Amino acid sequence: MLGRTLMVQGTGSHVGKSFLVAGLCRAFRQDGLRVAPFKAQNMSNNAAVCPGGGEIARAQAVQARACGIPPSVDMNPILLKPGSETGAQVVVRGQAVGTMTARQYLAEAPRLLQVVRESLDRLRAEYDLVILEGAGSPAEVNLRDSDLGNMRAAALADAPVLLVADIDRGGVFAQLLGTLRLLRPDERKRVRGFVINKFRGDLEILRPGLDFLVRRTGRPVLGVVPFAGDVRLPEEDTLGPRSEVGRRADRVLRIDVVRHPHIANFTDMDALEAEPDVLLRYVDRPDGSLPDALILPGSKTTIPDLVHLKACGLADHIARCVEEGVTVVGICGGFQMLGTRVLDPYRVESGTPAEEGLGYLPAITVMDRRKHTALVRAVHLESGLEVEGYEIHMGCTQHAGDAAPVFRIVERHGMPAEGLEGLAAAGGRVWGTYLHGVFDSGPFRRAFLNRLRAHRGWPPLPPAGEPSVDATLDRIADLLREHVDMAALARLAGVEGVPRHGRAP
């Protein structure tokens, strides 16, 4: 018997679909169900690596953690990684198959529908409940015939749909009623209830609107979830408008992160944001001041973003940072930019075949057609501290002079491995690595920050308690239990017989 299904769709992007799916996954798992997440198609440059090396969106990897299971390529069979305004790299079941324009991708939709069906069936054969997440809005009428992520996925799964709207944006009733009105009759029948997300204020003032919505649609409002700004999961796709995050104490380290036009895997900075002595800023132009450290994060299109650095004045700002003793770190695409040259002979990422790098590390990167993905465990050579991370990159970087490696690889894909990784120069003040998630290791992160503190003449701080993703997921589950009719959702999904509130091991 195939597992049951429940789908969360939204009236638009950023209404909280990923947040709600993660919380529902954790709550139903706590109730003793074997649960798995599923998103047929995701568009995101924030990716994660599964055991075995396949690549999926980071949001689905977090949702898998909520379920207490390893991430699988079946949880996100199609991942689109935008590299320009009109094109994206297409990843199918964890493997990059090429770069397509929007029209090319739409022409592939019928073939990819079979991929979606097979991945969904595999999950349903293994788990009691699969919670599907939609993509954007199901009411994009121009994309209806090629839709893979919303109502077509719901039909494949025969899933009841929960429609979610963001009241913090305003116009919540228009969002819900307008979306419902634009659906086809058969699609409309799948929508079995509403959830209003990010609510602030007095629920009694909202209640007349909820009653109107129920009368107008004949569907229940199954939850009003309060705004939970202090509960954060890794961002799914866009960095959003934020420019400064972190603490404002008397003694804080300022870490600037370059906001590339095609920034990727900026979740690498999440652990730094949580530190008590860090103020993190995302910058897209120099302002004349110097930080304690500057980080060049990943990029989906290294050469175009490198050209942008030079054009907007940030390359000159980085030069000043290096001259003044600021620590400069490059991760993945940022590591490639710190080298002497980046070559793209096969036009893998853009139409530009070569670009001079910033020149702070003696390394040349050549883009190739094969994507390198791996889960990695390594030891930081200077401190002896262990880190865990993952690689997702298209280029191969070769040493082209004297520089020290940064890490010693001890495990790749869960198997013992040997090798050196990364490069450092300027006495360790300038370094680069391909390891995403390198700052997630608390002892290494604190050693990095204490080196910045020493440069200021400040005493070191001990490692803080690790920010726990699992604790956050438990908080979200508790929030949903309090503000969503979980019994009604269990009935919708056909899993109402499971004992409530039992914590699974």
Catalytic residues: 332, 436
Count of CB atoms situated within 10 Å of the CB of 463: 16
Three-class DSSP labels, 374-408: EEEEEEECCCCCEEEEEEEEEEEEEECCCCECCEE
Q: Which amino acid is at 304?
A: P
The DSSP letter of residue 184 is -
Three-class DSSP labels, 280-312: EEEECCCCCCCCCEEEECEECCHHHHHHHHHHC
Q: Which amino acid is at 452?
A: L
Report how far residue 104's alpha carbon sits from residue 173's, in angstroms, rounded to the nearest whole number: 36
Residue 313, judged by CB atoms within 10 A of its CB (0-12, 13-18, 19+), counts as exposed
User: What tokens does 347 get?
Assistant: 């036009």
Which residues touch 308 (CB under 8 Å, ≥6 apart)?
A: 260, 261
Q: Point out which residues pair with 194 in neighbouring strands.
A: 163, 221
Which residues touch 346 (CB under 8 Å, ≥6 apart)?
A: 367, 368, 369
User: What tokens does 206 get?
Assistant: 């909202």
Secondary element (H or E) of residue 208: helix 203-217
Report how far residue 13's alpha carbon sits from residue 23's, in angstroms, rounded to the nearest whole number: 18
Which residues touch 291 (CB under 8 Å, ≥6 apart)?
A: 254, 255, 256, 281, 321, 326
Residue 398, judged by CB atoms within 10 A of its CB (0-12, 13-18, 19+), counts as exposed
Residue reference for tokens 């695409």 = 333
Report how far residue 463's alpha carbon sits from residue 450's, in angstroms, rounded to the nearest whole number: 10
Report how far residue 73's alpha carbon sits from residue 69's, in angstroms, rounded to the nearest whole number: 13
Alpha carbon distances (Å) from 95 to 191, 359, 397:
33, 32, 21
